[in-house]
Structure formats: C-alpha cells, structure tokens
C-alpha cells in the first residue's frame, strides 16, 4: 500500500462482554463495511485486526482495522498501522460512539477536540498531538439521571435503539464510503 491509501479505524473494546455495547459501534460499522465487501479481518503484529481492500473498481485503497486492545489504548495500533502502510494521518478515518449526539444522528468532522472520548485522546496522543484526522461520529445519546457516562457507553443499546441500530450502522458505513469516494465535504452535505 502507498500514500494514497486510507486507514479506517473502528473504535471499541475486545471480547463478547462489550460486543453489543454503545462504545463498540465503531466495530459494528467496520463489520458492516467488511460484509459489504465480502472480506474478513486477519491479525497483525501491532495489536489490531485488519484487512486491505480496494473500494470498488478503480476506487481508493483502504485498510480497515479494529484494535485488539481496549478503547483507551487505540492510539498505539492506529499509529503502527499508519507507519507500516505509509498512510498519511490526514487519510485516517475514525468511526466512534458520540454521547454529544442524540441516538441515530451522524456527524462527520475533521479535527477538533476529543470531547472526553478516551479512544480519540489515545489516537491524538500517538499522533503527537495531531488532531487533523476525520471522525465519523455515531450518536448514542447521553445517559439519563445520574448514570456516569463511562457506565452508559459500556451498556447495551435499549430495546428501541436495538431496533433502529441496523439503520444507524448502515448510515455510518455509507458515510465512510462517501468520504472515500466523493470526499469529506460531499459526505457531510449528504449525511448532515
């Protein structure tokens, strides 16, 4: 792979305990993208599962990856993959849960603060403070009452949200594909 390659990182935690939690929506979106391409992950030597592909006939080269470690340590494998495959951090797309968006909303942005998201903080730290990567923010909403945000994102979606979750995952996967094929501005115009 060369410098025209994109890295799509889906954030989440490993293991069945976290598989269907709000914090793992990044993993779910990447699973959908791989399903669309008929591809499967392989293990890497940098603590991530990844697969390289070309998006459509003549489309961009893409590396899809999820960390095998916990969310708070996402930065190390992302940095290692960027370095190994010579991917410019400006061509990094991170798919993650976003408590500051209502459930079902999606926002695409480049750069900005991490908003308390430890996975994003880890990535920014391992990029030497560079925040100029693209984020696909999947809205999971905020907890009600006195529940701590950290506890909320580690819970499964509500019954109603579980019914709507497939559509959200599809829309996030569509957003990633739009970024790759039409560019970030066009993707924002269609998604927002």
152 is in an annotated binding site: no
Q: Are 89 and 111 in contact (CB under 8 A)?
A: no
CA atoms of 22 and 164, how far apart (whole Å)? 13
Q: Is 23 a catalytic residue?
A: yes
Q: Of 23, 27, 96, 126, which one is the catalytic site residue?
A: 23
CA atoms of 192 and 188, how far apart (whole Å)? 6
Q: Are 191 and 171 in contact (CB under 8 A)?
A: yes
CA atoms of 51 and 58, how far apart (whole Å)? 18
Using DSSP's 3-state secondary structure scheme, residue 162 falls into helix
86, 28, 15, 132: CA torsion to nearest 10: 40
118 is in an annotated binding site: yes
72 is in an annotated binding site: yes
CA proximity to 11, closest of 87, 103, 118: 118
Enzyme catalytic residues: 23
Binding-site positions for tRNA read 18, 70, 72, 118
């Amino acid at each position: 792979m060369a410098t025209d390659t994109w890295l799509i990182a889906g954030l989440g935690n490993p293991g069945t305990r976290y598989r269907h939690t709000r914090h793992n929506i990044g993993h779910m979106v990447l699973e959908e993208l791989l399903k669309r391409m008929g591809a499967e992950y392989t293990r890497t030597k940098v603590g991530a599962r990844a697969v390289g592909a070309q998006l459509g006939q003549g489309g961009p080269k893409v590396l899809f990856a999820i960390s095998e470690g916990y969310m708070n340590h996402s930065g190390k494998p992302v940095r290692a993959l960027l370095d190994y495959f010579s991917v410019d951090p400006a061509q990094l797309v991170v798919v993650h849960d976003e408590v500051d968006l209502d459930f079902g909303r999606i926002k695409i942005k480049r750069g900005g603060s991490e908003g308390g998201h430890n996975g994003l903080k880890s990535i920014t730290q391992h990029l030497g403070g560079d925040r100029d990567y693209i984020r696909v923010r999947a809205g999971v909403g905020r907890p009600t009452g006195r529940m701590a945000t950290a506890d909320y994102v580690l819970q499964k979606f509500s019954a109603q949200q579980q019914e709507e979750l497939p559509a959200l995952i599809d829309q996030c996967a569509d957003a990633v594909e739009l970024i790759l094929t039409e560019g970030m501005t066009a993707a924002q115009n269609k998604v927002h």
